[in-house]
Structure 1
Amino acid sequence: MSKLIQLYLMVSDLKNSRDFYERVMGLSPKNGGKGTCAYETGSCELKLQVDFDPTALKAFNLDPPRDGNRGDGSVYIVTIDGEIDQIYKRIKDAIKNSDGKLITEPREVPWGESMFLVRDPDGYLIEIRGGR
């Protein structure tokens, strides 16, 4: 069986992204280096990497990230232990002093869960799920 072991996001400003993922989302860094930081999130590591030089990207036939909302058309889903309303309140308070943005308030969805949406500083869309 295949499994996802790492979610890799190229970010424009590592300091802003680290502030968002650590202070707003509550993650603790696992390790880091020049221009990178990794977070253990259970079975999948979240890796932030400052944008690669265009030459390095070209060597792997990759395009540079788009300007604006880099995450348009994609969503990654995060499950946080706790009540969704408490999680939302904590993130709403913390996000005020960050470059992230709340997109929706908590809501029940047809597949029987509670969730809300938030964007990180580079526009990656995160669906946050929790209990009610």
Structure 2
Amino acid sequence: MIKFGYTILYVEDVEASITFYENAFGFSRKFISPDHDYGELITGGTTLSFASKALASQNLKEGFLESSLGDKPFAIEIGFIVDNVPEVLQKATSHGAIMVLEPVEKPWGQVVAYVRDLDGFLIEICTEVENVV
């Protein structure tokens, strides 16, 4: 059996990142390690996790590319499916998310917007893709 369990973002401050996602998107914290180097949010079937860059450096001895608002986002995004894109977008930006793309409707009917979080990770806020045959 293989199951997609979690995505881990390497961040500057685990506590600040978890607080941001709680406030901006309404997720609940699952836990934060006693040393605040790792934490998880309850987001549904897949867990969104955060590890400090210091912890990541211990695990990845060869180093890694750090996400930063000063650089272009990585070629990956976190997608949050919502009922009301403009409403969630407004809440997220009021809590510090950086606007990348205002809501647009795709040819297949999905509404999509993009923001970046405190560490520069790209977040898609979108409606669910309806069955298109």
Match of 1:41 in 2: 43
* CA shift digits 1:19-76 (9 cap, x unpaired): 3211112111011112221012111001111112634421xxx523325248421112
Match of 1:4 in 2: 4
* TM-score using structure 2 length: 0.78
Does the CA contact (< 8 Å) of 2:25 and 2:91 recur in 1? no
Q: How many residues align?
A: 123
CA gap of 1:90–1:67, structure 2 versus 1, over 3 A, is: closer
CA gap of 1:67–1:110, structure 2 versus 1, over 3 A, is: same
Match of 2:86 in 1: 85
Give the 3-state SS of the residue equivalent to 2:60 in structure 1.
Answer: helix
CA gap of 1:63–1:110, structure 2 versus 1, over 3 A, is: farther
The runs of at least 4 consecutive aligned structure 1 residues that moved more than 3 Å come to: 53-56
Match of 2:75 in 1: 73
Q: Note the residue ranges of structure 2 that are not aligned, 5 or more in a row.
A: 129-133
Does the CA contact (< 8 Å) of 2:10 and 2:56 recur in 1? no
Q: Note the residue ranges of structure 1 that are not aligned, 5 or more in a row.
A: none
* TM-score using structure 1 length: 0.79
How many percent identity over aligned positions?
26
Matches within 5 A, 1:1-132: 2-33=2-33, 34=35, 35-51=37-53, 52=55, 54-58=57-61, 62-66=62-66, 68=68, 69=71, 71-80=73-82, 82-92=83-93, 94-95=94-95, 98=96, 100-130=97-127
What RMSD over aligned residues (CA atoms) do the two structures have, in Å? 2.2
Paired with 1:110 and 1:14, the residues of 2 have a C-alpha distance of: 38
